[in-house]
Structure 1
Amino acid sequence: MTTRLATSAGPHATRILGLGHYRPANVITNHDLIARGVETDDEWIKTRVGIAERHWADPDETVVDMAEQAGSKALAASGVSTADVDLVLVATCTMPTPVPAAAPNLAARLGIDAPGAFDVNSGCSGFVYALNAASAAVLTGQARNVLVVAAERFSGWLDMTDRSTCIILADGAGAAVVGPSDASGLGPAVWGSDGAQFDSVAIDEDSHFFRQEGQTVYRWATGQMAPVALAAIERAGLQPADIAAFVPHQANLRIIEALARRIELPNAVVARDIVTSGNTSAATIPLALSRMVESGEIASGAPVLLLGFGSGLAYAGQVVLAP
């Protein structure tokens, strides 16, 4: 006899119901880095990576602290009660230790009672991966609503003598609430990885400092990610001209500009949050998206192309509708 297990079913579709973001109060300008002894100058930083300033957490401000700030704002924006959240996901690669995960602590702080809770570590593409895990949980009836938060604290992993990395990385968090919808607000994800180059972005085992092979990552991102973005648009049933906004991982302004040219989105506003927020890895996409929606740059219901890429080397592209 074949044993059959019962399955659960959820709603027909899902969408992002609300967004939130948080940037620490400490603004670190390029001139501040120079004053700290970094051998660089303002023009070099702006020319190479496009950053004017970034935000660093206070010494006692943690990944979970920042996640709490962004998560509470997303919940408020969504109108979803904490009693109706069944799953909490945190995308991060900068927790100080592998155990415990951030998600259970975050859930308790926000007053979400006994949800499923786990972390997603896929570096800079982590938010898009977590967003799809959230959508799948709702669609299969495993959760009614899911809180997805990406939070990173890179200021604790920086080698201040390495100007190729310490000028780029920053701290912050972005969040989204994913829930049921009558019509699809989350298009199919296009994801993958180039594991042959897995160590191009890493935390050094000996020094525990962040390091990356900048030119390798630049060539890979500018050469390989445009087709991923176009495939995500196609799988969503849209054309490039339909896209109202492009929110790629905020790795480097030169990468962002190169991708925007290659993808050719004639009607899209392009996120350039890197200029004032720096590179916050998994948090860059939701942080930039939340700020653009809040400022009115992206209208409610507008189709937005998300494109995460980075450590692993893993990537994920997806079209979503702005809440």
Structure 2
Amino acid sequence: MNDGQERLGGVALVALNGASPQPGSRIVGLGAYRPATAVSNQTAAAAAGVDAQWIVQRVGIQERRHATASESVVAMAVEAGDKALADAGAGVDDVDVVILATCSMPSPMPNGAASVAARLGCRAAAGFDVNAACSGFSHALAVADALVRAGSARNVLVVASERMSDWVSAQDRNTGPIFADGAAAALIGPAQHPAVFPVAWGSDGHQADLITIRPQTGHMEMAGRKVFRWTTSALMPVVEAACRNAGITPNELKAFVPHQANLRIISSLAEAIGAPGMVTATDVVSSGNACAASVPLAFHALRQSGRIHSGDRVLLFGFGAGLTYAAQVVLAP
């Protein structure tokens, strides 16, 4: 052993410091990074050839963030991850695994997580990417929870980072005004009692062509109306299953943080849940749809605003391209 590391054939390995199976996991800290460049509806509407009010009426977005050349997927992930570690009072040597949820890396190789781990200074931490599009954070959180409970890691840094502006055409009114950039992170650690409850997840690959990148253009194409119908008609059973997995009813939720796809979708799902006094995240209004980063960005914003408190039952729910979906109840840190 040497400074928390073991070497095998010259390769550094993370020492788990006696990590063993745990009764549960919890979110220890949260962090977020929002690009400084705000794009108004007037600018987005002009590029897409629509009226600014049309964007508000259709998706509820009033402003979105776009990354500059220096704000890469990895660079934004590092910023968010660093803030999550600071929020948790943890150091880089405490991190055993880094999981990056993203679908907007410029190339499939190398993966982004290893670069994020290296730039943060997480020496020899395992690093891998999860691509489940807009449900990526919820998928990565489920994996992190399983790793901690199994004893394969004590602390897992889950980061979601997206540069969707690279993958949409500003001239396409179905995607250009909607998708945005940003990153957010959560540090997952052991708990004596579960505070990340079992995931309810799945996919419907028969409808995968509703949201896709066309090879001919390199841009995303989305059948917006069909996606809207799917999300508002098929996903409530996932909400109910996630609540059952946590041993609660939807009425006991204190907050709902769905994927920030569209304000009408968010409102429809929240109304269907119908929990009295439930706070619903609507970060989409000021941040747009940041794909995998949208759920943790919205979660972070609710916590920062003081609208949720430590121990509150919060339903996180990602859904999107694939078609993929994943939901879990967590206790707010």
**TM-score, with structure 2 as normaliser:** 0.93
What is the total number of aligned residue pairs between the two structures?
Answer: 315
Q: Does 1:249 find its partner at 2:259?
A: yes
In the aligned structure 1, how far is the partner of 2:139 from the partner of 2:45? 36
Structure 1 stretches lacking a partner, 5+ long: 1-7
Q: CA RMSD in A?
A: 1.0
Which residue number corresponds to residue 100 of structure 2? Answer: 90
Say if 1:241 and 1:267, in contact at 8 Å, map to a contact too: no
Q: Deviation per CA, 1:67-119, whole angstroms, max 9, x where unpaired?
A: 01111110001112211110000000000000011100000111100011000
Alignment of 1:13-162 (within 5 A): 13-35=24-46, 37-162=47-172
Partner AA of 1:49 in structure 2: V
Residue 288 of structure 1, aligned match among 283, 288, 298? 298
Say if 1:127 and 1:150, in contact at 8 Å, map to a contact too: yes
Structure 2 residue matching 1:191: 3-state secondary structure: strand
Structure 1 residue matching 2:322: 3-state secondary structure: helix
How far does residue 27 in structure 1 lie from its aligned partner after superposition?
0.2
- Larger displacement relative to structure 2 (227-236 or 277-286): 227-236
Say if 2:251 and 2:273, in contact at 8 Å, map to a contact too: no
In the aligned structure 1, how far is the partner of 2:57 from the partner of 2:236? 22
Say if 1:242 and 1:267, in contact at 8 Å, map to a contact too: no
Say if 1:12 and 1:183, in contact at 8 Å, map to a contact too: yes
Q: Does 1:239 find its partner at 2:241?
A: no
Partner AA of 1:26 in structure 2: T
Residue 23 of structure 2, aligned match among 12, 21, 25? 12
In the aligned structure 2, how far is the partner of 1:30 from the partner of 1:283? 21
Moved over 2 A (4+): none
How far does residue 171 in structure 1 lie from its aligned partner after superposition?
0.1
In the aligned structure 2, how far is the partner of 1:34 from the partner of 1:202? 23
- Larger displacement relative to structure 2 (146-155 or 231-240): 231-240
In the aligned structure 2, how far is the partner of 1:160 from the partner of 1:145? 39
Q: Does 1:197 find its partner at 2:197?
A: no
Structure 1 residue matching 2:248: 3-state secondary structure: coil
Which residue number corresponds to residue 5 of structure 1? Answer: none
Structure 2 stretches lacking a partner, 5+ long: 1-18
Which residue number corresponds to residue 237 of structure 2? Answer: 227
Structure 2 residue matching 1:166: 3-state secondary structure: coil
Partner AA of 1:27 in structure 2: A
In the aligned structure 1, how far is the partner of 2:69 from the partner of 2:275? 41
Say if 1:126 and 1:150, in contact at 8 Å, map to a contact too: yes
In the aligned structure 2, how far is the partner of 1:202 from the partner of 1:54? 21
How far does residue 264 in structure 1 lie from its aligned partner after superposition?
1.4
